[in-house]
Amino acid sequence: MTAQIINGEQVARDLRKQLKEEVAFLKQEKGIVPGLAIVVVRSPFARMHVARLKERTCRQLGIKCEIIYLSETTTDEEIIYRIERLNDDRNIHGINIHPLTPHLSHTLISQQVDPEKDVEALHFLNMGDFLIGRPRMVPFVASGIMKLIEATGINLEGKRAVVVGRSQLVGKPLAFLLLERNATVSICHSVTADLDSYTKKADLLVVAAGHPRTITSRMVKEGAVVIDVGVNQIGSHLIGDVDYEDVKNIASWITPVPGGVGPVTIAMLLDNLIKAARNS
Ligand code: NAP
């Protein structure tokens, strides 16, 4: 079997078309131009190229975007001070904080974002609403992954879904969304004993571990849908967490890296931003 490729670029293009129409409507009907602030602490963790890609996408859609660059030696206090100013800025409707260096606390910092501007859905108020099934904001990486799963047409009811990775941003919210679709979900992590015994049974396998070749074909069930969230820089190349060339011979559907999850997550971040602007 050779897997069909889940075309994240195409899914993202369709989403961006809808978003562009919504932005134009907001501008025309309410005089609102959605504004996104991205806080980037310069470091190898920061995914600066993604911040620039977000900025470019905002421009294409008619959204205002401001990137705030801070030095690698910045402190939690300085970031919180910047966030408080963004909270008070009427032209900013959403705040996105890029991955921070380990000496900074994303959890603490996320709680300082005005919940109305929390487009990452990491504030405990938004997370609480999400977990009781009445979300104001849905964590955008997880909702992007759901769009890709929907693109395959797989009916998740009663299916075994395995999520490798339990981060606050990806693994945990995704597992919850899959559960809401009546999949039976296992969450695996770095301390999971015998990872293969879980992945091998998965009808849907989502991998967000952050390590290349975490998943090879012998760990995948024949005909599984495989979503690779990982982005790993190897020299000048980006590769995922799944051994794509190997696994594509056994999966029914697979996402490429790049061109899979990444483009869709940016669109879903902007979807949250437009919601926030509409409610402002
Ligand atoms: P993270 O916070 O580092 O979490 C990684 C998770 O994977 C942890 O729960 C960890 O377990 C688990 N893990 C690590 N190695 C493992 C292994 N060998 N077997 C099983 N589980 C393992 O990372 P993240 O923010 O969730 O991101 C994960 C990946 O997705 C990264 O490559 C990141 O760049 C990528 N990403 C892509 C997008 C996109 O838009 N394309 C967005 C976000 C993230 P423990 O909890 O036990 O440590």
CATH of the domain at 240: 3.40.50.720
210-225 residue pLDDT tens: 999 999 999 999 999 9
Instruction: For residues 82 and 189, state if they share a domain.
Output: no
Residue owning the nearest CA to atom 22 of ligand 1: 190
Instruction: For residues 113 and 143, state if they share a domain.
Output: no
| Ligand 1 centroid, distance to 148 Cα (angstroms) | 18
Q: In angstroms, rounded to a whole number, what is the distance separating the alpha carbons of residues 137 and 108?
A: 19
SS3 content of the chain, % helix, strand, coil (to 5): 40, 15, 40
Instruction: For residues 98 and 207, state if they share a domain.
Output: no
pLDDT in the model for residue 117: 98
Candidates 38, 54, 166: which one to mutate for ligand 1, based on the most atoms within 8 Å of Cβ?
A: 166
pLDDT in the model for residue 1: 75
Instruction: For residues 181 and 78, state if they share a domain.
Output: no
Is residue 203, in this structure, part of any structural domain at all? yes
- Number of structural domains, the chain? 2
Instruction: For residues 150 and 255, state if they share a domain.
Output: yes
Is residue 4, in this structure, part of any structural domain at all? no
Q: In angstroms, rounded to a whole number, what is the distance separating the alpha carbons of residues 87 and 115?
A: 9
Is residue 276, in this structure, part of any structural domain at all? no
CB 166 near ligand 1, within 6 Å: yes
Whole-prediction pTM: 0.96
Residue owning the nearest CA to atom 8 of ligand 1: 165
Domain membership of residue 81 as a residue range? 31-117
**Would you give the distance in Å from CA 119 to the centre of its chain?**
11
CB 188 near ligand 1, within 6 Å: yes
CB 100 near ligand 1, within 6 Å: no
Instruction: For residues 103 and 212, state if they share a domain.
Output: no
Q: Please give the number of the atom of ligand 1 that sits closest to the Cα of 166.
A: 9
Instruction: For residues 100 and 203, state if they share a domain.
Output: no
**CA-based nearest residue to 231, from 188, 169, 280, 155:** 169
Positions in the chain short of pLDDT 70 = none
Instruction: For residues 111 and 172, state if they share a domain.
Output: no
